[in-house]
Homo-oligomer: A and B are copies of this chain.
Amino acid sequence: MEHGEASSTTCLPSTEQNPLQNLTFPIKQQRETKLQSSKTTKGRQKIEIKEIKEKNRRQVTFSKRRTGLFKKAAELSVLCGAQIGIITFSRFQRIYTFGNVDTLIEKYLRKAPVMLRSHLDGEALTGEEDVDGRMWWERAVESVREEEMEEYMKGLHGLRENLWKKICEMGGDPTVQMNAQAFPNPMAPTDWKITDENLTVRNDQGHAGKW
C-alpha cells in the first residue's frame, strides 16, 4: 500500500448511517483530487432500482446479481435446512435455474390439493361425474378426484424426467443454464461458493414430510 503522498489515510472510524439527513459536513474538499494519488476507483455507487438502460451495464449487473442471488439462496438453504428453487428468465428468455426446480415444482403443485383437501375435510366429496363437456381440471377444484391428480402429477413428473434425460444426452441447450443446490442439509461448510461442482443437477429429495 503505497499511499505515497496525499494523506488519504482512509480513516473510517465509524461507518454510521445517518437516520434521515446525511449532514454533509462542510468539509473543505477543495482539491486534493489531484495527483491521481487517492482512490483508484469510486467504489460501489448507489443506484436507483429501475430498469438499467445501457445494455452492457445491464448485462453485467444481471450476471453478477444473479450469482449473488443464487449464493444467498444456497446459504439460506443450508443455514435453515430449507428447500429453495429459483426460476429466472432473462429478458431474452434465456432461463437460469437454481435448485431442484422440478422436485420443488411438483411439491408446489401438489401442495394446493393437500391444503384444499384438509380444508374441505368432512365435506364428503361425492365423486362428481363429468356431466358436461368440460375437462376434469375445469370442474370445481374440490371435485378433482385424487386419482386424477395422481395421474396428473405422474405425468408431470414422468415428462420432466424424460425431457431432462433427453436434454442431458444432447449436451444441453445454450438457452438453458441451471445451478443445482438447495441441498436440504449439509455440505462442507468450507467450500461454500457456487463452484462448478455445484452447478450440476442433483437428485436430492430431502426430508419431505419429515416435519
Question: How many copies of this chain sit in the oligomeric assembly?
Answer: 2
Asked whether B138 lies within 8 Å of A163 as measured between CB atoms, the reply is no
Residue of B nearest to A48 (CB): B189
A201 within 8 Å of B by Cβ? no
Instruction: Contacts A10-B13, A47-B79, A61-B80 known; list 18 others, CB within 8 Å.
Output: A7-B16, A8-B19, A10-B11, A17-B29, A49-B75, A49-B189, A51-B185, A58-B81, A61-B79, A62-B76, A87-B101, A91-B210, A93-B211, A112-B167, A115-B167, A115-B176, A136-B155, A140-B162
Asked whether A163 lies within 8 Å of B107 as measured between CB atoms, the reply is no
Interface residues of A (CB under 8 A from B): 3, 6-14, 16-30, 32-33, 38-39, 42, 47-52, 58, 61-62, 65-66, 68-69, 72-73, 75-76, 78-93, 95, 97, 101, 104-105, 107-109, 111-113, 115-116, 119, 135-142, 144, 152, 154-156, 158-160, 162-167, 170, 173, 175-176, 185-186, 189, 192, 207-211
CB-defined contacts of A101 to chain B, threshold 8 Å: 87, 108
